[in-house]
Amino acid sequence: MKCPYCGGVCADDALYCPSCKQPLPTAQGEARAQHEKRREKRTAGQKALSAVFVVLFAVALVVGAFKLAGWIESYQLTRLYTRGAYAPTLSEIQMDDMRQGHAMIFFGKDGDQIYVPELQRSLSISGGVARMEMPDSDWFTNNVTDVEYADITLSPMLISESGKKTELPQFNFQVDVPVSPLNVTSPAQERTTVVTGVYPLTLNVVPGSTVFVNGEDITASLDRSGYISTYVSVKPIGDNVITLIVRTPKHRECRRELVIFRQHYDIEVELDTTVSTTSPSRTMAVTGTIEPGASIAVDTDHIEESLTVDQQTGRFSFVARFANYGNNIIRFRATKEGKQDAEIVLNVDYRPSLDELSGRAWAMDYPQLRILFENWRYQSFVCKGPIIDTFTDDDGRKYMVMDVGTDERQLVILVNETSIASPTLGRSYQAYAYVDGQHLYQSEYYPMLIALYMDVTG
């Protein structure tokens, strides 16, 4: 190849003339230039593709981080609701209408909600707590003859204030078929001694129940609240067995027997049905009829001038006096020449009115109360503080543990004879109660008082 500028001989692949140093416009040079251009284009394309990959990778990282954050949040919530601070609790309860049930308590942030799809119920968390109560009977149909229990599974869901939904751990528990509720308020015990020909029977059942007394259907006497008040005849034959049957829908039949004992005396004695076993005041009239020609002698405290006996009709009356709150005994005898004395013993519960009890109540003096509880028996006190625990003894007596301290823990055991059957744990109350001794609680003895009246204070 010759140089077009100087005519010198050049190699075919030379880019410059070796003689004049001028660039040679060879075909191979042009091809190389085109190759360089193509290589530049490929490089630019690779750079653009790399940029796309970088952007996609960044997006993937963001999405992954978001999903990871959501997974971590769900894991933390699940952990909190499984064994952490928000772990729900399930407990057996007695509902206000006496039905047995279960209470499920959830914990969480105010404003969040708990949704239970099986029940189609939503609960709002307020004060860090959401409580749901479920009657056990709701899990059954009316025919429970061949059923013993129900296996329950609940799948609660947490719905945050922003609308995010998180499935919580399932609840699995077993519910036995409940027994028809029955509360006998009169007589107070299953065995009672009386001296009357009729005795007041007072029952409380779930509204809608069917009630039988000694085989007689008395459901027509049931009021809207589930209360029945009737009378049963009591013969002077010793034990009178009273059979009660209650049938409540979706419950097992409840059968209970009461024994009312009426002794046979040589001298006929009959108390009026108006003579009660409870008294709101320190005195109570006792009236009735004895065999004509007999006399009355009262052995317990009474107003002497109140004793009268009509020898012709046998009508008698006197006014008994009570020394203490709670149980008091009235004892009197019917006497007649040639016959064995008929001794009558009545147990009367002196339950003072709120005005009387509060008017005699002392302010709490805890250190002295722990020392002088025996000397201060029947003295009433004002007890203020939160209920920290409740329990029931084998006889069905209900107790409340109240902390009456301000700067330090000071516990008293209150026998719950108030109208508040199920006080809320942690809530503060003011109770009027009288001293009745001591009671063991968590391996230590504390003052025990009988609480007759109580109200919420906070």
Average pLDDT, the chain: 85
Spatial distance between the Cα atoms of 122 and 94, rounded to a whole number of angstroms: 22
Which ranges constitute the DSSP H helices of 293-365? 354-360
Instruction: Of 258, 244, 292, 263, give the one whose Cα is nearest residue 196.
Output: 263
Share of the chain above pLDDT 70, in %: 86
| CATH 1.10.540.10 matches 183-263 | no
So where are the chain's domains? 89-176, 183-263, 265-351, 354-456
* DSSP states along 366-409: HHHHHHHTTTTTT-EEEEEEEEEEEEE-TT--EEEEEE--SSS-
Grade residue 241 by pLDDT with cuts at 50, 70 and 90: very high
Spatial distance between the Cα atoms of 131 and 154, rounded to a whole number of angstroms: 15
Question: Which pTM was predicted?
Answer: 0.56
pLDDT digit string, tens, across residues 321-378: 998 888 899 999 999 999 999 988 888 989 999 998 999 999 999 999 999 999 999 9
* DSSP states along 257-300: EEEEEE---SS-EEE-TT--SEESSSEEEEEEEE-TT-EEEE-S
What is the mean pLDDT of the segment spanning 439-449?
94
Please state, in angstroms and as integers, the Cα–Cα distance from residue 12 to each residue in 19, 35, 318, following that order: 15, 18, 150
pLDDT digit string, tens, across residues 18-52: 778 777 765 445 555 565 666 666 666 666 677 66
β-pair partners for 261: 193, 239
More confident residue, 438 or 57: 438
Length, in residues, of the chain: 458
Contact 360, 382 (CB under 8 A): no
pLDDT digit string, tens, across residues 191-222: 988 887 888 899 999 999 999 999 999 999 88
| Residue 293, pLDDT above cutoff 50 | yes
More confident residue, 83 or 1: 1
Lateral strand order in the sheet of 227-233: 182-186, 198-205, 227-233
What pLDDT shows up at residue 27?
Answer: 44
Contact 98, 204 (CB under 8 A): yes
Least confident of 40-44, 71-75, 115-119, 205-209: 71-75
Superfamily of domain 265-351 in CATH is Immunoglobulins (2.60.40.10)
SS3 76: helix
**Two domains, one topology: 89-176 and 354-456:** no
Share of the chain above pLDDT 90, in %: 44
Residues 6+ apart with CB under 8 A from 294: 267, 309, 314, 334, 335, 336, 339
pLDDT digit string, tens, across residues 143-189: 888 888 999 998 888 888 888 888 888 888 899 999 999 999 888 88
Spatial distance between the Cα atoms of 37 and 304, rounded to a whole number of angstroms: 134
Burial class (CB in 10 A: 0-12, 13-18, 19+), 332: buried
Give me 444's structure tokens.
Answer: 């230590």
**Greatest pairwise CA separation for the chain in angstroms:** 175
Contact 39, 60 (CB under 8 A): no
69 C-beta neighbours (distance < 10 Å), count: 10
What is the mean pLDDT of the segment spanning 96-112?
87
Residue 126 DSSP label: B
What pLDDT shows up at residue 128?
Answer: 84
Residue with tokens 């034990």, as numbered in its chain: 239
What pLDDT shows up at residue 109?
Answer: 84
133 C-beta neighbours (distance < 10 Å), count: 13
Superfamily of domain 354-456 in CATH is Nucleic acid-binding proteins (2.40.50.140)
The fold adopted by the segment(s) 89-176 is Immunoglobulin-like (2.60.40)
Please state, in angstroms and as integers, the Cα–Cα distance from residue 192 to each residue in 240, 278, 450, following that order: 10, 14, 23
* DSSP states along 207-218: TT-EEEETTEE-
Is the preceding omega at residue 280 within 30 degrees of 0, hence cis? Answer: no
Backbone φ, ψ for residue 312 (5° rounding): -80, -45
What pLDDT shows up at residue 275?
Answer: 87
73 C-beta neighbours (distance < 10 Å), count: 13
Please state, in angstroms and as integers, the Cα–Cα distance from residue 434 to each residue in 15, 149, 382, following that order: 121, 43, 9
Give me 411's structure tokens.
Answer: 């516990």
What pLDDT shows up at residue 409?
Answer: 92
